[in-house]
Amino acid sequence: MLNTDYQNDTLTVYLTGEIDHNRAASIRATIDSQINALRPRTLELDFSRVSFMDSSGIGLIMGRYRSVGLVGGSLSVTNVPDGISRIIELSGVNTLGVLR
């Protein structure tokens, strides 16, 4: 399940459950269509309810970083659980300055 909220030029996406290869494609499509429609200044990916993430989640973050950048926005990754934070750090995504 994927919930979104758009306020004050910020598109917040509340991710839940597991982010793996099977789910990542539909999540990407949903987020990208909203980025293109709304052209937010900030895309916030809220990971507070994510229980598992593999490399597909890293691809999801990197791709949305690029997608929102193409419309002049920035990415913010928030509320990341410790185990998933470790995966993000090992991937090097944290060097983009998107973790909040």
What is the band of 67 on the pLDDT scale with cuts at 50, 70, 90?
Answer: very high
Q: Is the pLDDT of residue 41 over 80?
A: yes
Collapsing DSSP to helix, strand or coil, 54 comes out as coil
Q: Is the pLDDT of residue 58 over 90?
A: yes
Query: How many Å apart are CA 18 and CA 38, to the nearest integer?
Result: 26
Rounded to two decimals, what is the model's pTM?
A: 0.95
Query: How many Å apart are CA 21 and CA 70, to the nearest integer?
Result: 24
What is the band of 2 on the pLDDT scale with cuts at 50, 70, 90?
Answer: confident
What is the band of 64 on the pLDDT scale with cuts at 50, 70, 90?
Answer: very high
Query: Cα torsion for 52, 92, 37, 41, to the nearest 10°?
Result: 120
Superfamily of 2-96 according to CATH? STAS domain (3.30.750.24)
Give pLDDT, residue 34.
97
State mean pLDDT over 21-43: 97
State mean pLDDT over 68-95: 95
Q: Is the pLDDT of residue 100 over 90?
A: no
